[in-house]
């Protein structure tokens, strides 16, 4: 899940919430939405390897 921050950057969060904290895990902050989407695809690829 990608959210736009107030400073104009994009943050990638995990799809599931953490059971302990009830929040989503931060998977990285990126300058462009395209970079965040690219990293999300990479994460999904390696989750299944």
pLDDT at 48: 87
User: Is residue 10 helix, strand or coil?
Assistant: strand
Predicted confidence at residue 14, as pLDDT, reads 94
In order of 25, 48, 49, the CA distances from 3 in angstroms are 12, 24, 26
The edge-to-edge listing of strands for the beta sheet with 2-4 is 2-4, 10-17, 24-30
**Residue-level pLDDT at 41:** 96
So what's the pLDDT on residue 40? 96
Dihedral in degrees, nearest 10, Cα atoms 34, 39, 25, 46: 150
Domain of residue 27: give its range: 2-47
Q: What is the pLDDT of residues 5-39, one digit of tens each?
A: 999 999 999 999 999 999 999 999 999 999 999 99
Report how many domains make up the chain: 1
Give yes or no for residue 49 having a pLDDT over 90: no
């Amino acid at each position: 899940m990608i959210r736009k921050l107030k400073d104009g950057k994009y943050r990638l969060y995990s799809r599931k919430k953490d059971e302990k904290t009830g929040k989503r895990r931060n998977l990285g902050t990126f300058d462009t939405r395209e970079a965040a989407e690219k990293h999300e695809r990479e994460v999904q690829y390696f989750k299944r390897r």
